Amino acid sequence: MSKKIKKELENEEAVLQCAEQFGLVGDPTRMKICWLLCKHPELSVGDIAKVLKVSISVVSHSLKRLRENDLVDSRREHKTVYYKLANTGFNKILRNSLTNI
């Protein structure tokens, strides 16, 4: 049993990535953004800023961090950028956690 358990943690890169992702959503603003994107398939930066009552700059910075870690995907339509949660195992866990609250 202990060999099997030890083997599960051998993929240190995956463990570190998961820790990083949990740390990212530990920030209240980024967590709120993820919450909104769990409930709404796609939102613009401006819409998110308006709902959270923070500047577009704050939202853009938070989304940049989430995008750098593959937690959100974006698409541009003219001058507007829309974001959605990326289809990852981590986001599936996040969605399940948030839909039960």
pLDDT of res. 55: 96
Query: In whole numbers, what is the pLDDT of the chain averaged over residues?
Result: 83
Domain ranges of the chain: 2-99
Backbone phi and psi for residue 75, each to the nearest 5 degrees, phi listed first: -145, 150
Tens digit of each residue's pLDDT (9 = 90 or more) over 25-68: 678 888 889 888 988 989 999 999 999 999 999 999 999 989 98
Domain 2-99 listed as CATH 1.10.10.10: yes
Residue 3 pLDDT level (bands cut at 50, 70, 90): confident
Asked if 49 and 58 count as a contact pair (C-beta separation under 8 A), the reply is: yes
